[in-house]
Amino acid sequence: MKGRRCSRNACTRPATATLTYVYADSTAVLGPLATYAEPHCYDLCAEHAERLTAPRGWEVVRLAPDQVDTGPSSDDLEALANLVREAGRPTPAAEDSMIEVNRRGHLRVLRSVED
């Protein structure tokens, strides 16, 4: 797969940043390269992103580039595992008010005790 190129005419360098205009706020936002190419955004190479200027009266907001993505940390994975365990635990009130009517593999058909 070929990477995205700079949106500037005649520039063939790879894009490293995405420029978005917020017309309502007279603001140009320059941030890290967007995950997907958007029709109303402009991908810029490092040189064009560095030299970017906005029209008179407009503000340029430069978002800090993301740090090197190291993937999930052990804390993230542990928190996710704890959430999955917690979600899988049956709630005592729900189990007491339900009766298993049928079972097929890992699926169960439950009926309320009140029915």
User: Which tokens hold the place of 18?
Assistant: 């995405």
Let me know: does 27 contact 59? Beta carbons within 8 Å: yes
At residue 96, the pLDDT reads: 66
Q: How confident is the model at residue 1 (pLDDT cuts 50, 70, 90)?
A: very low
Let me know: does 44 contact 18? Beta carbons within 8 Å: yes
User: In DSSP terms, which residues pair with 106 in a beta bridge?
Assistant: none
Is the pLDDT score of 37 beyond 90? no
Better pLDDT: 61 or 85: 61
Helix, strand, coil shares of the chain, percent, nearest 5, are 25, 30, 45
Is the pLDDT score of 35 beyond 80? yes
Q: How confident is the model at residue 100 (pLDDT cuts 50, 70, 90)?
A: confident
Is the pLDDT score of 109 beyond 90? no
Backbone angles phi, psi at 21, to 5 degrees: -100, 135
